[in-house]
Structure 1
């Protein structure tokens, strides 16, 4: 029986790598991103290379009612959705008071509201499957406050906390919930966030999207609650839980200062 996976933010980075891995495993794909051109190219590649069905919808999930549109579109494609990957998101770098409020609110709508709303609308169909999975993409930034990335880190803390709570609520159902918390990854995040100050550092420590994607999918299928790929990322996440918060904030503020 055909199984379908829906991936948001699927046109590049981790989302694109997950689409490739799932297509390789025989999943039919529903892909969401803003760029129709990139989605069309990826769809063509996956169909030709893996002979799977691929449908895509170009939309901005930070816009009002976009998740309802996606859910309705998904229902038209299949009633056998067994994987939901909430990957769409972005960050903004700078002091809270110096960044445009409308840009910060758009970030929160995508990083938080879209995850909540899309999960809510698709949960009924996921519950109907013999086994299904939700994978929410957070960040190692979720484990501490990060000055100059204040709202981004807070939004990722929300995603992690929400994922764990939802996982508990659904533990007696067929739906398994996992949260992937990658560290620096070569996805263009730094450029989108305006983090040029970390360009040289990123070249040394960035993980490749394909590596992060494989770790995330493996953890998801193994029904892990939290997935942190990379030894240094695990170390920083665990360290943030035990070191004094004020010390962690001074360290992160130093890393991300202009």
Structure 2
């Protein structure tokens, strides 16, 4: 049976994508930091969907993590048909005030891990009758976002990487899709260090991880290049193509900067 490898699978959108793929009959390879959460998810998909699930608990931002994860995946299966790069997080604050080491760790997880892991595994994906890569970016990929400056930049990288790789693989069995959700009911805001006021504002517009996962997996299997779940999110991202960049940056700053202490 085909297998799907999902990074960042222990929580949020990654976990929801794992459940969605299990529902569709994929065996799962689950990777994240938390062993307990991964084991619980593996047990859940086995019980509810009758699929197999193997887990690897590891710090995916550590040097060499992508190579070790790829080696583990290759040992688990020769039928890797889906790679989902979900692992990542954000940091909220002014660039010059956030610790550099924390920002480097975020960039490692958001950009270098999916880049390296894809490079290690694309040959195996090519050997399948049909295979997919799903990269999880953000609506922040479509514009600069002051106080989320490097996070938005890292997601813009992932979007551009996805589109370029998709074109390079156009004559292969591998299809590449980029999923760019907006506000979602996960622990992203807590981990990013956002204020309660900002979290309350985002919660009013949030989608559930299950809704985002369903849209992403459906778009991936349909061979779409990009998917932005939610009509309001799609409109907002589209408007950035027509509104002057200085204006979108000012609007974003007005939302995020005023909540900084």
Following superposition, the deviation at residue 202 of structure 1 comes to 2.0
- Counterpart of 1:26? 25
User: 1:143 and 1:111 mapped to 2: Cα distance?
Assistant: 16
Measure, in 2, the Cα distance between the counterparts of 1:245 and 1:202. 22
Cα deviation digits, residues 68-104 of structure 1 (max 9, x gap): 1101100110000000000000000000000000000
How big is the alpha-carbon RMSD for the aligned residues of Structure 1 and Structure 2?
0.6
Where structure 2 has 5 or more consecutive residues not aligned to the other structure, the ranges are: none
Q: 2:224 is matched with which residue?
A: 224
Q: Secondary structure at the match of 1:98?
A: coil
Gapped regions of structure 1 (runs ≥ 5): none
Distance 1:45 1:200 in 2: 31
Residue correspondences, number = 257
Separation (CA, whole Å) in 2 of partners of 1:208 and 1:35? 21
Q: In the alignment, is the contact (CA less than 8 A) between 2:179 and 2:228 conserved in 1?
A: yes
For 2:8 and 2:241, the matched residues in 1 are separated by 29
1:190-210 alpha-carbon deviations (Å, 9 max, x no partner): 110011231211221111000
Moved more, 171-180 or 17-26: 17-26
- Structure 1 residue 237: deviation in Å? 0.3
Moved runs in structure 1, 4+ residues, more than 3 A?
A: none
Secondary structure in 2 matching 1:91: coil
CA distance in 1, matches of 2:15, 2:150: 25
3-state SS in 1 of match to 2:252: helix
Q: CA deviation at 1:163?
A: 0.3
1:241 alignment partner, SS class: coil
2:61 match: secondary structure: coil
Alignment of 1:69-218 (within 5 A): 69-196=68-195, 197-218=197-218
TM-score (norm 2): 0.97
Contact 2:183/2:203, CA 8 A, preserved across alignment: no
* CA displacement 1:33-63 (0-9 Å, x = unmatched): 1000100111111111111110000111111
1:211-257 CA distance string (max 9 Å, x none): 00000000000111010000110011001111000000000001111
- Classify the secondary structure of the residue corresponding to 1:96: coil
